[in-house]
């Protein structure tokens, strides 16, 4: 997927499962999840199903059930965001990267839970999903830092994920890491250089962060009215817009 995935498990979180071979097996399971998603959906791989579709080697009708299901999900998000989120590039190529990383993170988290690991943090290119606490049994939250897109050595905010709270996921979209790669809805859609969304679910956070960058202030209002989320948006001039969860 053109990014780095990291897994953090606190020492002593579950010695019987997370230590030694147990943790090695869990790490391997996470790697398998991302490998499968990469082989199917990544446009960075010439041999992926998504790349073959992009080259017109076959049609979406002939694609795998997984590809068709995620495309259907993307169409639902396009309706819910009134077009701010879309699964097609301006040239018509199908590109599900706006939600696939979120699905991969979600499935990787499920693989960890299935192996009895109850305290962990998954980070895929700055999109974060957590379970439990960095101090097992304490109820303490994980601290997720959000980098300033105009000064990569500085943090704009630190958001608490997990612990006793309901927000377990944080996704950030924008141009700071990979340049302008999100298709915006006219001049209004080019207003934000970076948007971070915290939500209970990583797919929701991932999609809405992308949609707000693409749709601008109108989509920001729509998202905060329609979903239980917190948002930190950075305008091109450096001005910050934040919901109360980021201002606390």
Question: pTM of the predicted model, to two decimals?
Answer: 0.89
Residue 43 lies in a domain: yes
Residue 247 lies in a domain: no
**pLDDT tens, 160-172?**
999 888 999 999 9
Exposure b/e, 8-28, CB count within 10 A at least 16 = b: ebbeebbeebbeeebbeebee
Residue pair 88/79 in contact by the 8 Å Cβ criterion? no
152: confidence class by pLDDT, cuts 50, 70, 90 = confident
Strands 169-174 and 151-161: unpaired
Angle between helix axes 21-41 and 65-80 (nearest 10 degrees) is: 80
Task: State the number of CA atoms in the 13 A half-sphere of 112 facing the CB.
Answer: 27
**Is 123 strand, coil or helix?**
strand
Sign of CA dihedral 192, 193, 197, 203: positive
Q: Counting every residue, how long is the chain?
A: 248
Backbone angles phi, psi at 132, to 5 degrees: 70, -135
Residue 248 lies in a domain: no
Domain range for residue 155?
A: 5-241
Q: In what order do the strands lie in the sheet with 192-199?
A: 5-8, 120-124, 127-131, 169-174, 192-199, 230-235, 240-242
Q: In angstroms, what CA-CA distances link 206 with 173, 192, 221?
A: 8, 16, 17
Within 8 A by CB and 6+ apart from 127, the residues are 101, 102, 105, 169, 170, 171, 172, 202, 205, 206
**pLDDT tens, 102-141?**
999 999 999 999 988 999 999 999 999 999 999 998 999 9
Residue 246 lies in a domain: no
- Show the tokens assigned to 117: 């690991």
Whole-number Å distance between alpha carbons of 101 and 40: 12
CATH number at residue 183: 3.10.520.10
Residue pair 12/32 in contact by the 8 Å Cβ criterion? no
More confident residue, 73 or 18: 73
Q: Kindly state the helix (H) or strand (E) to which residue 131 belongs, with its residue range.
A: strand 127-131
Tally of domains in the chain: 1
Task: Write down the pLDDT at residue 31.
Answer: 94
Task: Write down the pLDDT at residue 179.
Answer: 47
Give the residue-averaged pLDDT of 175-202.
71
Residue 228 lies in a domain: yes
């Amino acid at each position: 997927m053109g990014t780095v995935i990291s897994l953090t498990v606190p020492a002593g979180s579950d010695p019987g499962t997370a230590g030694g071979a147990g943790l090695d097996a869990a790490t391997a399971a996470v790697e398998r999840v991302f490998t499968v998603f990469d082989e199917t959906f990544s446009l960075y791989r010439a041999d992926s199903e998504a790349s073959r579709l992009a080259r017109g080697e076959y049609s979406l009708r002939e694609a795998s059930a997984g590809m068709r299901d995620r495309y259907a999900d993307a169409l639902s998000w396009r309706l819910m965001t009134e077009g701010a989120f879309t699964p097609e590039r301006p040239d018509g190529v199908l590109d599900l990267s706006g939600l696939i990383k979120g699905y991969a993170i979600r499935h990787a988290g499920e693989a960890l839970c299935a192996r009895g690991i109850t305290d962990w943090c998954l980070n895929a290119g700055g999109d974060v999903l957590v379970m439990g606490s960095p101090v097992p049994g304490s109820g303490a939250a994980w601290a997720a830092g959000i980098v300033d897109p105009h000064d990569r050595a500085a943090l704009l905010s630190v958001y608490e994920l997990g612990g006793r709270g309901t927000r377990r996921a944080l996704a950030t979209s924008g141009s700071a890491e990979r340049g302008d790669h999100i298709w915006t809805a006219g001049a209004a859609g080019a207003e934000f250089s970076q948007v971070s969304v915290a939500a209970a679910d990583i797919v929701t956070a991932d999609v809405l962060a992308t949609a707000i960058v693409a749709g601008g202030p109108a989509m920001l209002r729509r998202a905060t009215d329609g979903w239980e989320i917190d948002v930190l948006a950075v305008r091109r001039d450096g001005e910050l817009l934040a919901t109360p969860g980021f201002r606390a």
